[in-house]
């Protein structure tokens, strides 16, 4: 088992850090920085599409480079990343498609915080690698 896998003895902070691998978040932050400087009218759409693609890639990335074999754990990577990416740009999304509905930004931010804590309960305490 690699130390990238969530283990029964991991603290909540360790589990969260393992759910958002630095390499994947760094790649998305780089894409986001390019999009922020763009005047292209569909830049936000491309950013969100990139987030979805990165979420899917993260499933394969952690399997290959982090040695994560548990499918539930890999799915949690994708969900956590996608929720984080949407929360990061919730104001832009609300401004673009929801006529700046502050409720969306507030809701997605609260959902991200709740997910951070609830996910700790969803992760089994037994060994997470497949036999």
In this prediction, residues 20-47 reach a mean pLDDT of 84
- At residue 55, the pLDDT reads 92
- For 45-77, letters b (16+ CB in 10 Å) and e give eebbebbeebbebbbebbbeebebbbeebbebb
- At residue 122, the pLDDT reads 66
pLDDT tens by residue, 77-115: 888 889 888 888 888 888 877 776 678 888 888 888 888
Task: Give domain limits for the chain.
Answer: 12-122
Q: Round to the nearest angstrom and report the end-to-end CA distance of the chain.
A: 11
Residue 75: half-sphere exposure toward Cβ, Cα within 13 Å: 7
- At residue 56, the pLDDT reads 93
Distance CA 32, CA 10 (A): 31
- At residue 49, the pLDDT reads 93
Q: How confident is the model at residue 1 (pLDDT cuts 50, 70, 90)?
A: very low
- At residue 106, the pLDDT reads 82
The pTM assigned to this predicted structure is 0.71
- For 15-35, letters b (16+ CB in 10 Å) and e give bbebbebeebbebbeebeeeb
């Amino acid at each position: 088992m690699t130390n990238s896998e969530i283990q029964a003895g991991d603290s909540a902070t360790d589990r969260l850090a393992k759910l958002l691998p630095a390499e994947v978040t760094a790649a998305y932050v780089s894409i986001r920085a390019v999009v922020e400087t763009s005047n292209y009218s569909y830049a936000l759409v491309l950013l969100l599409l990139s987030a979805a693609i990165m979420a899917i890639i993260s499933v394969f990335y952690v399997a290959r480079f982090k040695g994560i074999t548990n499918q539930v754990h890999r799915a949690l990577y994708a969900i956590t990343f996608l929720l984080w990416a949407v929360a990061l740009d919730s104001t832009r999304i609300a401004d673009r498609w929801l006529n700046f509905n502050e409720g969306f930004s507030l809701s997605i931010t609260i959902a991200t915080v709740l997910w951070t804590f609830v996910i700790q309960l969803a992760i089994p305490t037994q060994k997470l690698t497949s036999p």
